[in-house]
Amino acid sequence: MSEIEVRTAEAAEFEAVGAVFGGAMMFEPTPDDLGRQLFEPERTLVATDDGRIVGTTRALTRDLSVPGAVVDAAHVTGVGVRATHRRRGVMSRLIGQQLRDVPEAIAVLWASEPAIYGRFGYAAAAWGTAYEVDLHRVGPPDGPIRPGELGELTVEEALKELPTLLRRAQEQRPGVSGRSELLWQKHLQDKPDDRGGRTARQILVHRDEAGSIDGYALWRGKMNWIPTGPANEVQVEELVAPDATAYRALWQHLLTMDLSAKLGYGYGAVDEPLLQLVRTPTALDRRVGESLWVRVTDVPQALQQRRYAVPVEVVLDVTDALIESNNGRFRLTADASSVSCERTDAAADLSLSVAELGAAYLGGRQLAEFAATGRVVEQTPGALGRATAAFGWPVAPVSVEIF
């Protein structure tokens, strides 16, 4: 069998890396200048066989909202192995090295298949809800819409106005990834080939009484005429409205589009407030799936950089099969104003692996959930309840974008 080597990519390998990932995912990559500028070769690993790239993984430099903070998180993407080289441990080598290399205390990703990443200590940390809404039944939010309250922006205007709103959304909800200016440009790119028969992207905004934009929705329509008449489809790609009035007005507008029968939205949280606004919540067909997966790569740093719902002092005995320095006991102490997490010789209150820490990291899954399967073991009576309450968060995490 040939010898596989793993190394850091070079800038000139942008196309080759894209081709391996595109081949693995079965899409035709369309490399462009923005993609090239966003390529971080020094944060990309390639596996080569006889000099030819056969496997890739990339880490993007981005931040992420976590309970009470916005932190650096390695955004892992582009994981692909040529079909001719599958099941020979190529991905395992790439992901193992990547997790040991990344300087951030956590790595996050969207998984194409849930069976892939658990073995590397990743865990689903946020659930996402995909909605398909029957617009004839839903009973949209009502209330008058003030003239001038809603409007549309060009891409150039949106690039100036929308970043602030996403940052405000990060302050409200864990799981939301930040976007640099380049990432915003990429996000708002609207290549006709990528529209899948839908209209160009509409950038809908809501303005408060002073005229400031306090919410936006990115959406597209698709004409559909059936024998009984129009049954158009509305696809909402992103809706960010930190302000409650904006949130209601944007949904009211989108749920009442003329000629339309169906609305799709793929990035709802499990506690999405939309359910409170409609008269018939059962007209929103809901499918819950994994949203963001989290891998804690540096236990003390990761636990120190988020906040906790209630004060806590707990000694965690952590195991990690990939990153040696994460093994051992750590005392986590947190109150309203400070958090510390340090190595200790004290007896453990809870035993768990790094995967359960990842699952609970965004506040969306309970540590206690894992006691039932023995993945978290309570060593000190009462510690599980206290730690579960502290790791929880009042707002469910969700990622609003597949990266």
Ligand X SMILES: CC(C)(COP(=O)(O)OP(=O)(O)OC[C@H]1O[C@@H](n2cnc3c(N)ncnc32)[C@H](O)[C@@H]1OP(=O)(O)O)[C@@H](O)C(=O)NCCC(=O)NCCS
* Catalytic option among 14, 117, 247, 308: 117
Residue type, 280: T
Minimum distance from residue 18 beta carbon to ligand X (Å): 13
Could you say whether residue 191 binds ligand X (CB under 6 A)?
no
Q: Would you tell me how many other CB atoms lie within 10 Å of the CB of residue 150? A: 18
Instruction: Quote the CA–CA distance of 109 and 322 in Å, as a whole number.
Output: 18
Could you say whether residue 60 binds ligand X (CB under 6 A)?
no
**DSSP helix/strand/coil, 8:** strand
Tell me the window of 76-84, 269-277, 292-300, 372-380 that interacts with ligand X (CB under 6 A): 76-84
Is residue 117 part of the annotated active site? The answer reads yes
342, containing H or E segment = strand 339-343
Could you say whether residue 79 binds ligand X (CB under 6 A)?
yes
- In terms of CB distance, is 100 or 136 closer to ligand X? 100
Tell me the window of 11-19, 84-92, 170-178, 375-383 that interacts with ligand X (CB under 6 A): 84-92
Give Dmax (Cα) for the chain.
73
- In terms of CB distance, is 77 or 326 closer to ligand X? 77
**3-state SS, one letter per residue, for 229-264:** EECEEEEEEEEECCCHHHHHHHHHHHCCCCCEEEEE
- In terms of CB distance, is 92 or 245 closer to ligand X? 92
Instruction: Quote the CA–CA distance of 14 and 146 in Å, as a whole number.
Output: 49
Q: Single out the residue of 53, 60, 74, 111 in contact with ligand X (rule: CB under 6 A).
A: 111
Q: How far is CA 192 from CA 26, 181, 221, 233, in A?
A: 20, 22, 14, 18
The per-residue b/e assignment along 366-400, b for 16 or more CB within 10 angstroms, e otherwise, is bbbebbeeebbebeeeebbebbbbbbbbebbbbbb
Minimum distance from residue 81 beta carbon to ligand X (Å): 4
Minimum distance from residue 5 beta carbon to ligand X (Å): 14
Q: Does 238 carry a binding-site annotation?
A: no
Is residue 267 part of the annotated active site? The answer reads no
Q: Single out the residue of 16, 38, 69, 116 in contact with ligand X (rule: CB under 6 A).
A: 116
Q: Single out the residue of 2, 8, 30, 112 in contact with ligand X (rule: CB under 6 A).
A: 112
Could you say whether residue 244 binds ligand X (CB under 6 A)?
no
What are the residue ranges of helices labelled H in 188-332?
244-254, 274-277, 299-305
Minimum distance from residue 292 beta carbon to ligand X (Å): 12
Burial zone of 335 (CB within 10 Å; 0-12 exposed, 13-18 middle, 19+ buried) = exposed
Could you say whether residue 80 binds ligand X (CB under 6 A)?
yes
Could you say whether residue 226 binds ligand X (CB under 6 A)?
no
Torsion of CA 115, 118, 124, 125, to 10 degrees: 180
Burial zone of 192 (CB within 10 Å; 0-12 exposed, 13-18 middle, 19+ buried) = exposed
Could you say whether residue 115 binds ligand X (CB under 6 A)?
yes
Tell me the window of 62-70, 80-88, 161-169, 170-178 that interacts with ligand X (CB under 6 A): 80-88
The dihedral sign for the CA sequence 179, 183, 188, 193: negative
Minimum distance from residue 98 beta carbon to ligand X (Å): 12
Could you say whether residue 89 binds ligand X (CB under 6 A)?
yes
Q: Does 88 carry a binding-site annotation?
A: yes
Could you say whether residue 19 binds ligand X (CB under 6 A)?
no
Tell me the window of 30-38, 87-95, 357-365, 373-381 that interacts with ligand X (CB under 6 A): 87-95
Q: Single out the residue of 5, 8, 25, 377 in contact with ligand X (rule: CB under 6 A).
A: 25
* C-beta of residue 174 within 8 angstroms of C-beta of residue 182: no
Q: Does 91 carry a binding-site annotation?
A: yes
Minimum distance from residue 359 beta carbon to ligand X (Å): 18
Could you say whether residue 81 binds ligand X (CB under 6 A)?
yes
* C-beta of residue 233 within 8 angstroms of C-beta of residue 203: no
* Catalytic option among 39, 216, 330, 403: 403
Minimum distance from residue 50 beta carbon to ligand X (Å): 17
What are the tokens at 124?
Answer: 């689903």
143 sits in the region (left: phi over 0; alpha: psi -120 to 50; else beta) called left
Known binding-site residues for acetyl-CoA equal 79-81, 87-92, 112-113
Known binding-site residues equal 79-81, 87-92, 112-113
Active site residue ranges: 117, 403
Residues forming contacts to ligand X in the complex (CB under 6 A) are 24-25, 79-81, 86-92, 111-113, 115-116
